[in-house]
Amino acid sequence: MKKKIPISGIVIGIVIGIIISIAVFSYFSHSNNSNNTTNEIMYHDNSTRVFYDLLTKVEEKNNTMYITAFTNEGREISHISILIDSLLFKHSFYLNNGLVNYSDITPNPVNNDIYQKIGLFNTPKKMVYVYPIFTQAAYEKNGFYDYYNNLCDSKCLTVYIPDEIHGKYTSSIRAASILSILNYTRITDIDIDKNPDIIKNYDRVIVLHSEYVTKKEFDAITNHPDVVYLYPNSLYAEVNVDYKNNTITLVRGHGYPDKNVTNGFGWKFDNSQYEYDTQCDNWAFYKVDNGKMLNCYPAFRMYFDKDLLAAIKIK
Protein backbone atom coordinates (compact mmCIF):
# COMPACT_ATOMS: atom_id res chain seq x y z
CA MET A 1 0.00 0.00 0.00
CA LYS A 2 1.31 3.42 -0.90
CA LYS A 3 1.62 5.91 1.92
CA LYS A 4 -0.18 9.18 1.53
CA ILE A 5 2.13 12.15 1.39
CA PRO A 6 1.08 14.88 3.87
CA ILE A 7 -0.04 18.17 2.34
CA SER A 8 2.72 19.95 4.25
CA GLY A 9 5.32 17.73 2.54
CA ILE A 10 3.92 18.55 -0.88
CA VAL A 11 4.00 22.28 -0.12
CA ILE A 12 7.59 22.09 1.10
CA GLY A 13 8.61 20.18 -2.03
CA ILE A 14 6.99 22.79 -4.26
CA VAL A 15 8.69 25.63 -2.40
CA ILE A 16 12.11 23.96 -2.67
CA GLY A 17 11.57 23.39 -6.38
CA ILE A 18 10.65 27.04 -6.90
CA ILE A 19 13.72 28.23 -4.98
CA ILE A 20 16.05 26.02 -7.08
CA SER A 21 14.41 27.18 -10.31
CA ILE A 22 14.75 30.84 -9.34
CA ALA A 23 18.41 30.37 -8.43
CA VAL A 24 19.27 28.69 -11.74
CA PHE A 25 17.26 31.23 -13.73
CA SER A 26 18.87 34.10 -11.85
CA TYR A 27 22.37 32.85 -12.62
CA PHE A 28 21.81 32.42 -16.33
CA SER A 29 19.72 35.56 -16.78
CA HIS A 30 22.37 37.56 -14.94
CA SER A 31 25.01 36.18 -17.30
CA ASN A 32 22.96 37.00 -20.35
CA ASN A 33 22.28 40.54 -19.19
CA SER A 34 25.91 41.44 -18.58
CA ASN A 35 27.79 43.79 -20.87
CA ASN A 36 29.45 40.75 -22.41
CA THR A 37 26.55 38.39 -22.89
CA THR A 38 27.27 34.74 -23.52
CA ASN A 39 25.29 34.91 -26.75
CA GLU A 40 27.80 37.41 -28.11
CA ILE A 41 30.94 35.62 -26.98
CA MET A 42 32.20 33.42 -29.76
CA TYR A 43 35.53 31.82 -30.57
CA HIS A 44 36.87 33.04 -33.91
CA ASP A 45 40.19 32.66 -35.68
CA ASN A 46 43.02 34.26 -33.71
CA SER A 47 40.81 34.63 -30.65
CA THR A 48 41.20 32.73 -27.41
CA ARG A 49 38.00 33.43 -25.52
CA VAL A 50 36.57 30.46 -23.62
CA PHE A 51 32.95 30.29 -22.48
CA TYR A 52 32.30 28.21 -19.37
CA ASP A 53 29.36 25.90 -19.93
CA LEU A 54 29.94 24.26 -16.54
CA LEU A 55 29.41 26.08 -13.26
CA THR A 56 33.01 26.97 -12.46
CA LYS A 57 34.69 28.78 -9.59
CA VAL A 58 38.18 30.22 -9.77
CA GLU A 59 40.00 31.43 -6.68
CA GLU A 60 43.53 32.66 -6.10
CA LYS A 61 45.38 32.16 -2.82
CA ASN A 62 49.09 32.01 -1.97
CA ASN A 63 50.11 32.16 -5.63
CA THR A 64 47.86 29.23 -6.45
CA MET A 65 44.85 29.21 -8.76
CA TYR A 66 42.08 26.88 -7.64
CA ILE A 67 39.59 25.85 -10.30
CA THR A 68 36.49 23.91 -9.29
CA ALA A 69 33.98 22.80 -11.90
CA PHE A 70 30.48 21.52 -11.18
CA THR A 71 27.71 20.02 -13.27
CA ASN A 72 24.39 21.83 -13.38
CA GLU A 73 23.15 19.30 -10.83
CA GLY A 74 25.75 20.58 -8.37
CA ARG A 75 28.07 17.55 -8.61
CA GLU A 76 31.75 18.44 -8.48
CA ILE A 77 33.60 16.94 -11.42
CA SER A 78 37.03 18.45 -10.94
CA HIS A 79 39.09 20.44 -8.49
CA ILE A 80 42.38 21.61 -9.94
CA SER A 81 45.13 23.50 -8.14
CA ILE A 82 47.65 25.25 -10.39
CA LEU A 83 50.59 27.40 -9.35
CA ILE A 84 50.09 30.77 -11.02
CA ASP A 85 53.81 31.07 -11.78
CA SER A 86 53.62 27.82 -13.73
CA LEU A 87 50.97 29.04 -16.19
CA LEU A 88 52.23 29.09 -19.77
CA PHE A 89 49.56 31.54 -20.91
CA LYS A 90 47.87 34.63 -19.50
CA HIS A 91 44.37 34.07 -18.15
CA SER A 92 41.72 36.69 -17.50
CA PHE A 93 38.63 35.34 -15.76
CA TYR A 94 35.35 37.26 -15.92
CA LEU A 95 33.01 36.43 -13.06
CA ASN A 96 29.33 36.78 -12.28
CA ASN A 97 28.24 36.09 -8.72
CA GLY A 98 31.51 34.29 -8.00
CA LEU A 99 31.19 31.96 -10.98
CA VAL A 100 33.24 32.17 -14.16
CA ASN A 101 31.28 33.42 -17.15
CA TYR A 102 34.18 33.33 -19.59
CA SER A 103 37.93 33.73 -19.72
CA ASP A 104 40.52 34.98 -22.16
CA ILE A 105 43.65 32.94 -22.85
CA THR A 106 46.45 34.95 -24.41
CA PRO A 107 50.16 34.41 -25.04
CA ASN A 108 52.61 35.48 -22.37
CA PRO A 109 55.67 37.11 -24.01
CA VAL A 110 57.99 35.79 -21.31
CA ASN A 111 57.26 32.27 -22.61
CA ASN A 112 58.05 32.94 -26.27
CA ASP A 113 61.04 30.58 -26.17
CA ILE A 114 58.80 27.81 -24.83
CA TYR A 115 56.21 28.48 -27.53
CA GLN A 116 58.90 28.10 -30.18
CA LYS A 117 59.75 24.65 -28.83
CA ILE A 118 56.24 23.32 -28.33
CA GLY A 119 54.51 25.16 -31.20
CA LEU A 120 54.67 25.08 -34.99
CA PHE A 121 56.37 28.39 -35.68
CA ASN A 122 59.61 27.20 -37.25
CA THR A 123 58.42 23.89 -38.66
CA PRO A 124 56.31 23.01 -41.71
CA LYS A 125 52.64 23.13 -40.75
CA LYS A 126 51.90 19.51 -41.54
CA MET A 127 49.95 18.93 -38.35
CA VAL A 128 46.28 19.74 -37.88
CA TYR A 129 43.75 19.53 -35.08
CA VAL A 130 40.08 18.72 -35.54
CA TYR A 131 37.60 20.94 -33.74
CA PRO A 132 34.57 18.77 -32.75
CA ILE A 133 31.71 20.98 -33.93
CA PHE A 134 29.32 17.99 -33.95
CA THR A 135 30.09 17.34 -30.28
CA GLN A 136 29.49 21.01 -29.51
CA ALA A 137 26.07 20.65 -31.16
CA ALA A 138 25.22 17.49 -29.20
CA TYR A 139 25.77 19.25 -25.86
CA GLU A 140 23.63 22.29 -26.65
CA LYS A 141 20.35 22.94 -24.86
CA ASN A 142 17.52 20.74 -26.16
CA GLY A 143 20.16 18.40 -27.50
CA PHE A 144 21.28 14.83 -26.92
CA TYR A 145 21.90 15.26 -23.20
CA ASP A 146 18.42 16.51 -22.52
CA TYR A 147 17.24 13.29 -24.15
CA TYR A 148 19.64 11.15 -22.08
CA ASN A 149 18.43 12.87 -18.90
CA ASN A 150 14.76 12.31 -19.79
CA LEU A 151 14.12 16.04 -20.20
CA CYS A 152 13.12 15.67 -23.82
CA ASP A 153 11.85 13.00 -26.20
CA SER A 154 13.61 11.72 -29.33
CA LYS A 155 13.14 15.05 -31.12
CA CYS A 156 16.22 16.20 -29.18
CA LEU A 157 18.31 13.62 -31.00
CA THR A 158 18.33 15.92 -34.02
CA VAL A 159 20.11 19.23 -33.38
CA TYR A 160 21.33 22.16 -35.42
CA ILE A 161 25.01 22.46 -36.25
CA PRO A 162 26.31 25.71 -34.74
CA ASP A 163 27.25 28.43 -37.19
CA GLU A 164 30.32 29.31 -35.16
CA ILE A 165 32.72 27.66 -32.78
CA HIS A 166 31.50 28.52 -29.30
CA GLY A 167 33.89 27.85 -26.48
CA LYS A 168 32.81 24.89 -24.35
CA TYR A 169 34.50 22.52 -21.90
CA THR A 170 32.64 19.58 -23.43
CA SER A 171 33.95 20.36 -26.92
CA SER A 172 37.56 20.79 -25.68
CA ILE A 173 37.75 24.50 -26.43
CA ARG A 174 40.72 25.02 -24.10
CA ALA A 175 42.89 22.67 -26.12
CA ALA A 176 41.65 24.26 -29.34
CA SER A 177 42.53 27.72 -28.06
CA ILE A 178 46.00 26.70 -26.92
CA LEU A 179 46.79 24.80 -30.11
CA SER A 180 45.71 27.87 -32.09
CA ILE A 181 48.04 30.05 -30.03
CA LEU A 182 50.79 27.56 -30.85
CA ASN A 183 50.11 28.00 -34.58
CA TYR A 184 48.41 24.67 -35.31
CA THR A 185 46.06 24.52 -38.30
CA ARG A 186 42.41 23.79 -37.58
CA ILE A 187 39.74 21.89 -39.46
CA THR A 188 36.34 20.68 -38.23
CA ASP A 189 34.18 17.57 -38.40
CA ILE A 190 32.38 19.14 -41.36
CA ASP A 191 35.60 19.46 -43.37
CA ILE A 192 36.39 15.77 -42.90
CA ASP A 193 32.84 14.52 -43.48
CA LYS A 194 32.55 16.45 -46.73
CA ASN A 195 36.04 15.55 -47.88
CA PRO A 196 37.58 12.61 -45.98
CA ASP A 197 40.77 12.91 -48.01
CA ILE A 198 41.53 16.31 -46.50
CA ILE A 199 43.44 14.75 -43.62
CA LYS A 200 45.77 13.01 -46.06
CA ASN A 201 47.32 16.45 -46.52
CA TYR A 202 48.70 16.28 -42.98
CA ASP A 203 51.40 14.11 -41.46
CA ARG A 204 49.70 14.17 -38.06
CA VAL A 205 46.07 14.65 -37.01
CA ILE A 206 45.16 15.70 -33.46
CA VAL A 207 41.73 14.61 -32.29
CA LEU A 208 40.15 16.47 -29.36
CA HIS A 209 36.92 15.48 -27.58
CA SER A 210 35.33 14.32 -30.84
CA GLU A 211 32.69 12.25 -29.11
CA TYR A 212 30.16 12.42 -31.96
CA VAL A 213 31.33 11.79 -35.53
CA THR A 214 29.96 10.45 -38.79
CA LYS A 215 30.96 7.07 -40.21
CA LYS A 216 32.96 8.79 -42.95
CA GLU A 217 34.85 10.81 -40.37
CA PHE A 218 35.43 7.74 -38.20
CA ASP A 219 36.86 5.82 -41.15
CA ALA A 220 39.06 8.72 -42.27
CA ILE A 221 40.56 9.25 -38.80
CA THR A 222 41.08 5.59 -37.93
CA ASN A 223 42.75 4.98 -41.31
CA HIS A 224 45.18 7.87 -40.99
CA PRO A 225 48.65 6.57 -40.07
CA ASP A 226 49.49 9.13 -37.36
CA VAL A 227 46.74 10.35 -35.03
CA VAL A 228 47.13 11.87 -31.58
CA TYR A 229 43.96 11.10 -29.61
CA LEU A 230 44.39 13.93 -27.12
CA TYR A 231 41.08 13.41 -25.31
CA PRO A 232 39.48 10.19 -24.07
CA ASN A 233 35.94 9.37 -25.22
CA SER A 234 36.57 10.37 -28.83
CA LEU A 235 34.90 8.53 -31.73
CA TYR A 236 32.22 7.30 -29.34
CA ALA A 237 28.89 7.71 -31.12
CA GLU A 238 27.76 7.83 -34.74
CA VAL A 239 25.73 10.70 -36.17
CA ASN A 240 24.28 11.44 -39.59
CA VAL A 241 24.44 14.90 -41.14
CA ASP A 242 21.73 16.69 -43.09
CA TYR A 243 23.49 19.63 -44.69
CA LYS A 244 20.30 20.87 -46.33
CA ASN A 245 18.74 21.43 -42.91
CA ASN A 246 22.09 21.97 -41.17
CA THR A 247 21.47 19.26 -38.55
CA ILE A 248 23.00 16.14 -37.10
CA THR A 249 21.05 13.14 -35.79
CA LEU A 250 22.24 10.47 -33.39
CA VAL A 251 22.40 7.06 -35.05
CA ARG A 252 24.07 4.77 -32.56
CA GLY A 253 26.05 4.96 -29.32
CA HIS A 254 25.87 6.31 -25.77
CA GLY A 255 23.04 3.94 -24.84
CA TYR A 256 21.08 4.49 -28.05
CA PRO A 257 19.11 2.88 -29.64
CA ASP A 258 19.65 0.22 -26.99
CA LYS A 259 20.83 0.95 -23.46
CA ASN A 260 23.49 -1.76 -23.83
CA VAL A 261 25.15 0.07 -26.72
CA THR A 262 28.23 1.97 -25.57
CA ASN A 263 30.60 2.81 -28.40
CA GLY A 264 28.47 3.18 -31.50
CA PHE A 265 31.24 1.93 -33.78
CA GLY A 266 32.26 -1.02 -31.63
CA TRP A 267 35.73 0.51 -31.66
CA LYS A 268 38.29 -1.64 -29.91
CA PHE A 269 40.40 1.38 -28.88
CA ASP A 270 37.61 3.20 -27.05
CA ASN A 271 39.25 4.72 -23.96
CA SER A 272 36.29 6.47 -22.35
CA GLN A 273 37.27 5.03 -18.96
CA TYR A 274 39.89 7.79 -18.71
CA GLU A 275 37.45 10.64 -19.30
CA TYR A 276 37.00 11.53 -15.63
CA ASP A 277 40.67 11.86 -14.75
CA THR A 278 40.81 15.65 -15.04
CA GLN A 279 43.91 16.01 -12.87
CA CYS A 280 46.18 14.25 -15.38
CA ASP A 281 48.92 14.00 -12.76
CA ASN A 282 50.09 10.68 -14.21
CA TRP A 283 49.43 11.47 -17.85
CA ALA A 284 50.95 9.25 -20.48
CA PHE A 285 50.49 8.46 -24.13
CA TYR A 286 50.21 4.83 -25.15
CA LYS A 287 50.36 3.32 -28.62
CA VAL A 288 47.40 2.19 -30.71
CA ASP A 289 47.35 0.91 -34.28
CA ASN A 290 47.38 4.34 -35.94
CA GLY A 291 48.94 6.65 -33.38
CA LYS A 292 48.82 7.31 -29.67
CA MET A 293 46.21 8.01 -26.99
CA LEU A 294 46.30 10.06 -23.80
CA ASN A 295 45.11 8.42 -20.60
CA CYS A 296 43.34 11.45 -19.05
CA TYR A 297 41.22 14.53 -19.82
CA PRO A 298 43.79 17.32 -20.31
CA ALA A 299 41.61 20.45 -20.39
CA PHE A 300 43.39 22.20 -17.50
CA ARG A 301 46.71 20.37 -17.68
CA MET A 302 47.41 22.13 -20.95
CA TYR A 303 47.50 25.45 -19.10
CA PHE A 304 50.89 24.70 -17.60
CA ASP A 305 52.44 21.40 -18.67
CA LYS A 306 54.96 22.14 -21.42
CA ASP A 307 56.00 18.48 -21.56
CA LEU A 308 52.46 17.45 -22.46
CA LEU A 309 52.28 20.12 -25.16
CA ALA A 310 55.67 19.07 -26.51
CA ALA A 311 54.53 15.43 -26.64
CA ILE A 312 51.71 16.41 -28.99
CA LYS A 313 54.28 17.68 -31.47
CA ILE A 314 57.02 15.09 -31.04
CA LYS A 315 56.95 12.31 -33.60
Average pLDDT over residues 2-31: 40
Q: Which residue from 263, 211, 205 is spatially nearest to 234, judged by alpha carbons?
A: 211
Residue 255: its pLDDT value, please? 92
Radius of gyration of the chain (CA): 21
Residue 73: its pLDDT value, please? 57
Whether residue 276 is predicted with pLDDT greater than 70 in this model: the reply is: yes
Cβ neighbours, 10 Å, residue 19: 10
DSSP per residue over 241-263, as a string?
A: EETTTTEEEEEE-SS-SSTT--S
Residue type, 180: S
Question: Are 137 and 250 within 8 A, CB to CB?
Answer: no
Whether residue 241 is predicted with pLDDT greater than 90 in this model: the reply is: yes
Residue 6 confidence class, pLDDT cut points 50, 70, 90: low
Residue 30: its pLDDT value, please? 33
Average pLDDT over residues 45-57: 66
Peptide bond just before 257 cis, omega within 30 deg: yes
Residue 10 confidence class, pLDDT cut points 50, 70, 90: very low
Decide: helix, strand or coil at residue 234: coil
Whether residue 313 is predicted with pLDDT greater than 70 in this model: the reply is: yes
Judged by average pLDDT, the poorest of 146-155, 166-175, 184-193 is 166-175
Check residue 160 and report its DSSP letter.
Answer: E
Judged by average pLDDT, the poorest of 166-170, 192-196, 304-308 is 166-170
Q: How confident is the model over 140-169, as pLDDT tens digits?
A: 989 999 999 899 999 999 999 998 887 778
Decide: helix, strand or coil at residue 272: helix
Q: Which residues contact 127 (CB under 8 A, 6 or more apart)?
A: 120, 184, 185, 202, 203, 204, 205, 206, 313
Whether residue 258 is predicted with pLDDT greater than 50 in this model: the reply is: yes
pTM to 2 decimals?
0.81
Q: Which residue from 180, 225, 228 is spatially nearest to 206, judged by alpha carbons?
A: 228
